[in-house]
Structure 1
Amino acid sequence: MEHGVGASAVVGVSTRDELFGEVRVTLDAAHGLVTVDGDGLPLVVVRRAAGTGDVDEQMPVGTRDGRRLALAVDGGAVPVSPGRGRLTRRSFRVDVTHAGVRYRLVPDSLTGSRLLRGAERVGELSSDGDGVVVARWVTGAGVRPVEVALGYALAAAFGTGALPMWMLLLDALGDLVPG
């Protein structure tokens, strides 16, 4: 879930979701802000704390430190816990608990991630970290409006996909070789 994002412009994207119609995603990478709303969807906001130093330019929202992030659904605070993003795809996961339900966005390919409700897969999402999110929902999963909004918000804020462990390991080893 590492993607290069220009930190200068605010990007607003409107997408037609297959289940819920228009979904609006706004990404302000410079200020670490993602908002998602749409027809019948709750407003979801992911925000990096103001004055946060050491902004990670590879991450749309600028950090994977959950202490420096706030997530809100229709104005209500929701805990967000991103993984550290190290050697395994699973380490790039993002966990959210809303209304007693645990959601997880976790990479499952180079470019895509799956959204889980508990252990159940509810959707497949992809985003290059530029505010554009493509979502496919699992037929028969009973996908709820809050899940659609959370899926789009997490994908836009953290990007999707990750390299397999062997490629990440080679990259890390390459960093150790003097050049």
Structure 2
Amino acid sequence: MPDAAPVPVPDANANTPEPAATEDDHYGEISVELEGEHGRTLVVSGENIPRITLTRAPGAEADDHIVIGTRDPVHLTLTVDGHDATVLPAKGRLSRRSYRVDVTHAGTSYRLVPDSVPSSRLTRDGKHLGDFSSDGDRRVIAEWRAGVPVEPLDAAIGYALSAAFGTGGQPLWMMAVDAVSTALP
């Protein structure tokens, strides 16, 4: 009797995209990966920054327009090197400000908020650290402000929020013009 053909073993990572890597001016290579079923977990890591893990809860409805799949804070968990942090994305409606994402970790507050069509501003305790751009492909570009001290955690948070939620946004007046032009015959 001939030997049976080997049964192929499914690749558990077949639907997991390759990590996106960026070379940061201050902290070297930073990797952004989606892990788990349907990209439920976003991991930001690098040799010179703390590891950030942002996870969407199992069973939470996923929005294809958001890399992490949701802006509902009830369905999101954020950790910094294994320690819990609080992440509060706003609902994302009409104004740029409605797309802000706030994080609190170890008594420090961060905010990523769109400030132009392509980019968002990262602040730590209200101080502008730099601007981030991401097109939704997990590749992130950071432009740090000159003369402002930036910590490894600042970079890790900025990359994670930019990759997970995207950056930039149209001003309200531009959205109104788009709505009116769409309504016209």
**Shorter-chain TM-score: which interval?**
0.7 to 0.9
Is 2:157 aligned against 1:147?
Answer: no
What are the superposed Cα offsets for residues 121-144 of structure 1, whole Å, 9 maximum, x if unpaired?
001100011110001111221100
CA offset at residue 109 of structure 1? 0.7
Query: Which stretch of structure 1 is more off in the superposition, 163-172 or 96-105?
Result: 163-172
RMSD: 2.0
Structure 2 regions of 5+ residues with no counterpart? 1-14
Name segments (4+ residues, structure 1) moved above 4 Å.
170-175
- Secondary structure of 1:30's match? helix
- Secondary structure of 1:155's match? helix
Match in the other structure for 1:42: 50
Match in the other structure for 2:69: 62
The one-letter amino acid of 2:51's match is: L
The one-letter amino acid of 2:53's match is: V
What is the distance in 1 between the residues matched to 2:141 and 2:128?
16
Is 2:114 aligned against 1:107?
Answer: yes
Structure 1 regions of 5+ residues with no counterpart? 1-7
Q: Based on CA coordinates, which of the two structures has the bigger radius of gyration?
A: 2
The one-letter amino acid of 2:46's match is: G
- The answer to whether the 8 Å contact 1:112/1:160 transfers is yes
> Cα gap change, 1:172/1:45 in structure 2, threshold over 3 Å: closer, same or farther?
farther
Match in the other structure for 1:21: 28
Match in the other structure for 1:81: 88
TM-score by length of 2: 0.85
Match in the other structure for 2:78: 71
> Cα gap change, 1:124/1:40 in structure 2, threshold over 3 Å: closer, same or farther?
same
- Secondary structure of 1:63's match? coil
In the comparison of the two structures, how many residue pairs are matched? 170
Identity over aligned pairs, percent: 45
Name the structure, 1 or 2, with higher relative contact order (CA <8 Å, separation 6+). Answer: 1
